[in-house]
Amino acid sequence: MAPIMLVLLFVVAAVVVVFLLGIRIVRPTHRGLIERLGKYRCSAKSGFNWVIPLVDRMTQANITEQITDGT
């Protein structure tokens, strides 16, 4: 196998790994808060979201209502 093919294969594999590491799934009862380098960037809605690995961080917050006794 030619060396250029090995390099190309390595680059494609690295891109696929980075893409898969950035996948985040948010449940319908949650919202995601995305921070880029520690600073708030945006809110992620439920469903499929992608963040940049090692740069972005997502924390999930539960937004379901809780019923309390009125007395």
| pTM (predicted TM-score) | 0.72
β-sheet bridge partners, residue 52: none
Nearest to 34 by CA among 56, 18, 49, 55: 56
Domain boundaries, the chain: 3-62
Q: Given this model, what pLDDT does residue 65 score?
A: 86
Per-position pLDDT tens, the chain of length 71: 788 999 999 999 999 999 999 999 999 999 999 999 999 999 999 999 999 999 999 999 999 988 888 76
Q: Which residue has the tokens 């995601």?
A: 32
Residue 26 has φ and ψ, to the nearest 5°, of: -110, 130
